[in-house]
Structures are given as structure tokens and as C-alpha cells.
Chain A
Amino acid sequence: MQPTSHAFRENARAGLADPVLQRALGLARTGFPARRLQAIGRLPEFEALREEGRRIKDETLAALDFYLQRYEQSVVAAGGRVHWARDAAEARDRVLEICRAAGARVVAKGKSMVAEEIALNDHLEQHGITPIETDLGEYIIQLRHEPPSHIIAPAIHLMKEQVAETFRAAHAALDPARPLAEPRQLCEEARTVLRPRFLAAEVGITGANFLVAETGSSIIVTNEGNGDLSQILPRVHIVLAGIEKIVPTFEDAATLLRLLARSATGQEFSTYTTVSTGPRRVGDLDGPDEYHVVLLDNGRSAMLGGEFHAMLRCLRCAACLNHCPVYAAVGGHAYGWVYPGPMGAVLTPALVGLREAGHLPNASTFCGRCESVCPVKIPLPNMMRHWREREFADGLSRRAYRSGVRIWAWLAQRPRLYHALAEAAGRLAGWFGRPRGRFRSLPFASGWTLVRDMPAPQGSTFQSLWSRRRGERQTWWRKGSSS
């Protein structure tokens, strides 16, 4: 999808002003954290597993070329094929070729953020192939022509009334008088409508949570089972995955899987964790005839060894989104692309550029909640700060802020001047402000006083009062002697 991250401010404003979205976000922002806490409360080893997860990912990234090669060898040994794609265009081309060779008219899709990243659906449709989203949330937003707003719960921004409205419009053949007020009824309808689509598809496309180098397997995790139906019924199974999804062994995947569901939804384990290895074997009664893996780079290799290396550990669990107060305020669409929330704030500039996505790492208070819940300990605020450093160095940040910060820093390095100015400002503001105790408006701080009062300073600064209390003249340099 085309990024609109440059319009983050406007998008965020729209999100804040949307009462239905705000109601939907309200449900999510208390639900997810509580469930996660409950799940990790039942697993005493959780903190130790986080450290294991970090270690496994870091060790793999340090030998990513080796593990990718071993993975390819294993896939081929299992009867599959690996296709390498440097960028989104190549990945689209590879997928299209495979679909055409299979004579596909309909493609069943499990949820894949990488597919969103490369804008696969539009590409297939332009070439006369119909992609059917099978994940319920993805299906709903496909009908609404909306992008996903969350990486594991794509329709989290919607309330059930909106889903019902969408289904009534899209499933026109069904009885208009049917009840659709409850999630139960909506799920039933989706299941009934989508079932024949799985059966009609010649190709099934899934993402991958993990690719296992040892066996050439791909692992997907769902609760619905749609990813499974997408890959066992059609003749051809395509796995679409970023190169960073590799892990060495099944044991390594097991450790990460123990972290994944607990961090994502607070479940002990997702309903379906499926390990797929190659096409059907001789004698199998079902399964695909062909197994293809499209490995996508699209900017990931450029992150290796640099400031954003740790971002490649990401498991796409969405814990950071679920705990982010900014995401909870504005919702996922505000971020303007595939990856919202803190992980999106770090990843999006790496994949689409800082000019387009600069707002994202700036729209953070660095509260640190994301890093504290990340199952693989990605230092997200630090990496957002690195983006800010690049912006500052490239002159991309707004002039007013750059000047303001530089002036402040200039003053801060001149203590005598600083203290004098601070004293003057404190006394002045205190003189004006003390009677009421606060300012309702301040000419140069309208961003603040538009929505809140500014408490007035007490008057003289602490430094002045302290030195007065001490009754001494000040020395400006102290070298370990009393001041």
C-alpha cells in the first residue's frame, strides 16, 4: 500500500475525533495488557525465556547468510523451491509467475504483513487473479477497502455494527432480514461464505512466523485455522516471508513460540501452530503438489550491523502496539502504512524512508512500555531516537524545533548566563503568575496552553535561593570543594 505516514498529524487528528474508533480502541487497550499479564504470571520462566529469545535471534542474525543457505538446501531437499526477492517488485513478480504457471484464478490468503508490505493483492487483481483474504479481520477490511490497523488483529478499529453493515452490503445474496447483531452471527456468516472460496482456490499464500533452517519448514500461527485451509486444499502453496524470519532449529522455534502467543494475545499457545515442510509426500491423501517460498529482502539486509539491527529480531507479536499509549490514542491507521505502533515507528522509516515516515519515531514520549513488553527485548525507544538523530543531522526536522533545541543547548553550556536568564524569567513569570497561580495562555507556548494551564513558577530559581541561603558569592567552577 502507498504510505501516508507523512500525513500522520492529520491522520492522528482524524483518529482522535472518531468516536467509534475511540470506543474500539478502549476495548483493546485494557484487554490485551491484562491478558498478557495473566499469561506471563503463570510462567515463572518468562523473563528467562525473553533473554533466550533475544539470544537466539541475535545469534541467527549474526550468521543470517549461512542459515538462509541451509534453509534453502533443506527446502529443496524436502521437494520445495525457494525464490529470492530483493524488493517488493521482485516479490510481486515471483508470486505472480507462480500463480500464472498454476493457472490460478483465485488465491486463498492467510494473514501476511509481508503481502501488505509489497501490495500483493492489488498486483494480483491487476493481472486478473482474485485474492481472497481468509483471516476474518483481513476479510472484513478487504471488503471495506481499508488497510489493516494492527498487525495481528487487522479489524480491531471496528465495532460489530460496522462489520454487520459491511457484511450486509457485501453478501447481498443472503436474506436481508437475517440477524447480524452479535459477533457469533458474524463469524458464522464469514465461515459459511469463505468455505467454498478455500475450495475454489488453486493457490494458497501464507506468511510465516518462523522459517526453520534445520528442516526447511515454515511455521504459521493462527487461531482460526484459515492459514491451514489455505495451504492444504489448493494445489500450490506459496510462503511469503522476510529473510529475518529464519531460526536455526525447531527447538529455537519452540522457545520463540512460548513467547509469541503470551505476548500477543495472552494465550498459552495459539490454537493452530502449523509446521509445513515441502509439498505432499508420496502416499499423502491431501496437501499441495507444489511448495514455494518467496524470501523478501526489501531493506532488511540494509538494517544488519547498523543502528537498527535489533529491529530484525521482531516476532510481529504486537505487544508493543498493545501497550503503547500513543497507539491507544490514535489507532493504527494514523501511522499510514502496514506497520503501526512502536515497531512501525522503527521499521517504517527503514523500509519507506525517513522523509516519508519521519513523524512516526517523533510521535513518542519514550515512556518505554514497548521495550518492557517486547519478548525479544528490542530497544525500541533508542532506535526511535536514532531516527531523530538522523533527521536532525539531515536537517529534516522542523526549523523551529531545531532552533529551539540549539538555543536551549547553547544557553545550558553557559551557566552564568543561563542562571541569570532563568532567574529573570522565573521572577517575571512568577510576578505575573502567582496571583492566579497559573497561566491560561502563553504566547510562545500555545501548544501547551491550548489544552491545559501552565502552573506559574514560584519566582526566584532554586539556584538563586540556594546561594542566597548560603549567603555567599558563587564560584562558577567547583572542583570538588564546597559551593
Chain B
Amino acid sequence: MPEPARVGLLITCLVDLFRPNIGFAAVALLERAGCTVEVPRSQTCCGQPAYNSGDSADAKAIARQVITAFAGYDYVVAPSGSCAGMVKVHYPELFADEPAMRARAEELATRTHELVSFLVDVRGMREITARWPKRVTYQDACSGLRELGVKPQPRLLLASVAGLRLVEMPGAEVCCGFGGTFCVKYPEISDKMVGDKAAEIAASGAEAVLAGDLGCLLNIAGKLLRLGIRIEARHVAEVLAGMTDAPALGAPGR
């Protein structure tokens, strides 16, 4: 077990609003990995919606807030590849013309990680004690995959979940069509992409689909539900932390 570490949890706006369960699963996992977890209250959003809409002024303002909020933690961890990617990859780009801020952004970037890759690559976790006897397929959320290299780590930990069997989709690395504002700006195209994704998930024979990003999961779960396909969608952290009592995404109940 590596040195104890103080982690600032970047909760992400979607997890905060839609599915706190994921946040608590992340905390449990981080504590299991020998970290103490704090949740800076002054965080709201990583600024990605503004950034990807071309509103770089607002994106910078939000980024400054995040950089300040997470000063002093050993690590900053987010249960989301896209939010972690925003901080790690895009904050330094945002401040390319402001050397002082860029230095602070680069410093924060060195401490920032996506959750599952943090557990495996930084904390050295190789297996987890959990049980979830289901046939599961995994969607590689784009930012986590391509900006942060998140691919083998969730599979490594899922392999040790008792009873869980992973069936891979051929198109696991193909975008689900969420893309933030894309899905509402170009709904027919997004629908085609998520429709294809739902069909592929169904064809895989899986009973559940997991991913590391709630945006993708909301998109996929929403389509599966609309199509009447009974495959449950959850965040991978919930399964790894053994917190699968809560209803799956979009399922009724508390």
C-alpha cells in the first residue's frame, strides 16, 4: 500500500446532480486505496460546456476557480474521463497565453487523474474485493480513452469482481453520440449514433453496460430505456465499490 494521500474529489456536475451514488462509490474506493478524501465546496463545474461552446472567457473564469479550489491536495480525482481530461489536458491549453496561470494549470494537471486509472496506475491497485455476478460490457468513454489512456485499468479491476463476466463489444471505442451540447444541437445524428450503440450493446449478450463517464451513461441508458431494452447501466465505480443496491440508471425507486 503506497503512502497515505490527501485527495480532493472533483465530483463533476453530472454526478453531483444526477447520481451521488457514484460520488460515494468513488470515496469508498479512494479510501480503500489509502486516501483521505475531501470535497471542496467551491467546485461546481470543470467548465467543459463553456469551453466546447467556444466561450473561452467563461471557461477560463471557471478554470481559475477550480485551480484555486484544488490547491494543496496531493491528488485531484474525478469519476469522469472528460472532466479529468478537461483539467489535465485542456486547462494548460486554455491559459497558453497567460504564463502565470498556465504554470498553475500545468501544476494542477500533474496531480489530476480519472478515478479508475488513478487507483490502478498511481495507487497500484490490481484487484478489488467485490461481487456482481452479471454478464457485463464496457463502453470506453472517448475523453478518458484518447486523452488519458483509460482502457486496461477498468478491465483489470473488473476481472477481479467475483462472478462478473466481461463481454467486449467490437465498437467499444466508438463514440456513443453524447458529446455534451452535440446531442441537443444535432439530435438526429446523436440518435443514430446512440441507436447503433444500443443495438451493439444488446447484441453483445450483456445484462449490464458500464462506463466511466456519467454523460455517456445517461445517453446510453436513456436510449436503452426508450427502446425497451432491459440492460442496466451503471458507472463502473458503483460496481467496483460494491454499491449496486441503488437502482440502475433510469430504473424506478430510491
Contact = CB atoms under 8 A, between A and B. Distances in A.
Touch between chains A and B, by CB atoms below 8 Å: yes
Interface of A: 9, 12-13, 16, 325-326, 329-330, 362-369, 371-372, 382, 385, 387-393, 397, 401-402, 405-406, 408-415, 418-419, 422, 425-426, 434-438, 440, 445, 447-448, 450-463, 465-467, 474-480, 482-483
A362 to B, nearest CB: 6
B84 interface: no
Given A363-B182, A409-B62, A434-B254, A455 B175 contact: no
B187 A364 contact: no
Interface of B: 11, 13, 15-21, 23-24, 38-45, 47, 49-56, 58-59, 61-62, 65, 69, 71-73, 93, 142-143, 145-147, 173-175, 177-195, 218-219, 221-223, 225-226, 246-247, 249-254
Contacts of A412: 13, 44-45, 47, 50, 62, 65
Name the prevailing secondary structure of the B interface residues.
Answer: helix
A461 B20 contact: yes
Contact of B185 (A401, A408, A415): A401
Contacts of B177: 325, 365
Contacts of B251: 437
Nearest to A405: B53
A453 B253 CA distance: 16
B142 A368 contact: yes
A390 B54 contact: yes
A461 B17 contact: yes
A407 to B, nearest CB: 10
Contact of B39 (A325, A371, A466): A466
Contacts of A418: 44
Q: Which of A365, A368, A410 has the most B CB atoms < 10 Å from its CB?
A: A365
A332 to B, nearest CB: 14
15 contacts: A362-B182, A366-B142, A387-B54, A388-B52, A392-B53, A405-B181, A408-B50, A412-B50, A434-B254, A437-B250, A448-B183, A452-B194, A452-B222, A460-B20, A480-B72
B17 A457 contact: yes
A463 B16 contact: yes
B31 to A, nearest CB: 13
Contacts of A415: 41-44, 65
A409 B147 CA distance: 24
Given A329-B192, A368-B146, A458-B20, A438 B45 contact: no
A454 B222 contact: yes
B183 A408 contact: no
B54 A452 contact: no
Contacts of A385: 51-52, 54
Contact of B250 (A13, A435, A455): A455
Q: Which of A366, A371, A425, A454 has the most B CB atoms < 10 Å from its CB?
A: A366
